[in-house]
Structure 1
């Protein structure tokens, strides 16, 4: 009879990127301090991302069963018995590593305008620039909003793009009348490839323009919007441009934002982003899950390395507003967010005080993080369970039946990441 390994509590990693929220305003800082109380937290520092998984840039560790033992890297534990930890289907599909990376994000300043390469491009970039592109995997991802969460994602539709080119003269100054006229003569009924080629041409022209020319036009845009704000209400996209200019003066991303959809998620809504799609997170907090990778091709709103030519050549140039996931109820207590990617899915579990929920055995691994409340977690085959509180993170190996109970005083909220269930259907 195959042995089912018990769930293990994890110590997790934190990233202090400069776009993160200061400690006192950051859910990342709060959860990290609760996850490992032994580490003092400098509340004046930005806390951007909590990482849970096996990626070498922020690996998780198993807590030992006794105080004398050392922390064991989660990846090392998986390698000792991959099939028992991950499940045979996962090992057969992805090998002996966790196929997803689970995160919490606290965003106070816009992240870079970026895209994530598909598998083929990721392998090539990793081979060419391993110092920048640190692994060879693709990075489809999904963000589930914990607060109001704002982002740029994908290109606006053709009609909105025409409105942009009419109302933002600084873009015409940069790209020239020929590119603008080409877009303005297109119709929604024209061939998709024709529209795509025109969009790629004008966007590449914009992004490849010299820093000096961009700086001049961003300054013009700033002065024009500040003046017009005195006599009319700026549009949401114009207000965003003003905000981005304050964060990244003279940056191409300020003008590039007009080409992208402005997405506002309310808590509980989710946005997924496929390979080669342009996006930038603007503000808010979210749960994020992705394939195990940290590959990012950047082109604006950043002081990091920009690979503009690669970004402009890799994009799909699909237009239209992205799909927003609301979560599908599995029962009274669980909402499941299922993106069109095999590597992961995310569950939001909300248990009222004193309620209990049983998870049937899942063929792959799961990671649970407690974000609100306290309670207990146990394998259904045992009578004893572990107490769980905010900040606790558990790795649950494959084929575990799990029972989660909320404490008597208040609601218990957790998020679970696991391999997309359709893989096991």
Structure 2
């Protein structure tokens, strides 16, 4: 698949940056076009792999932003992005749409720029192009508080309703307690980049070997053509005793024997797919609630097994309770690992989303109560006890 990839806000831009890094490290060619869009000038300086000419600052002349961000305010984020919509359209004119299969918009839903501006960006893209538009959204952790949860709950509705598919990532499921916030975010970005690129890069035209069970971009598009919310599982294992620097950086683990007979290879394939499905999903969900499932096996072609692929597909049909299961391979001759990425498309049972909605409702009620109480206190402060005094005008 070939993508135009657009990061909105700080979290979204960092994700796109990590995706470009990972595809470069693994000899892939997924992101044919990249953009970073932000309301904060300092955040636009952070990407390492997104070219400077592809970084767009919006709101620098807006009195509520002035190039310093929107302070986590989702309404201002939408307002600033809408005010600069002509500048965004000019930037998107550079997309060589004939060279991409779909557009991916990445954003964090807890802040103001991504959650408020993301839907505006999606509207602009859909007005300009007919290609599918997908969203990659990061849900805030419960520890981040009520305001980010409220932003996320409101923004999630817009992202899901406007896009062809929304791929969710839950911070709560991935943040380790012994990590600093910055360390946690960096690791989560790498984990998510590995999953997204491994899954969506299958079938793109490059110098890799043609797959025996080819996963074409049309298969990925069909699986994502369900609307709704999706989640990704991933597992990887080493296939030789060579240098492990890349595996250490991007995930994976374990070692394999140099050669395995076909039965053992088939067993390994099925076990890897099961581990990917039952591991930490990007968005924890009930596997049986998925409408469609797609699996991409990526690695040296000698590691693939037709029996293993068929066995994994049959197992997934039982687990997901659907016959809409596609399994294909993505040969990577020089890869030192065998990886499985599992896409669960249009899931209907994701407890974390329910939890965010409940937290958001509580936060909204608390904000309204606090506002009313503060207005009463201010009124008591500026008026006399018996209300004998009148204002001048």
TM above 0.5: no
- The structure with the greater share of residues assigned to strand is 1
Structure that is richer in helix per residue: 2
TM-score normalised by L of structure 1 = 0.27
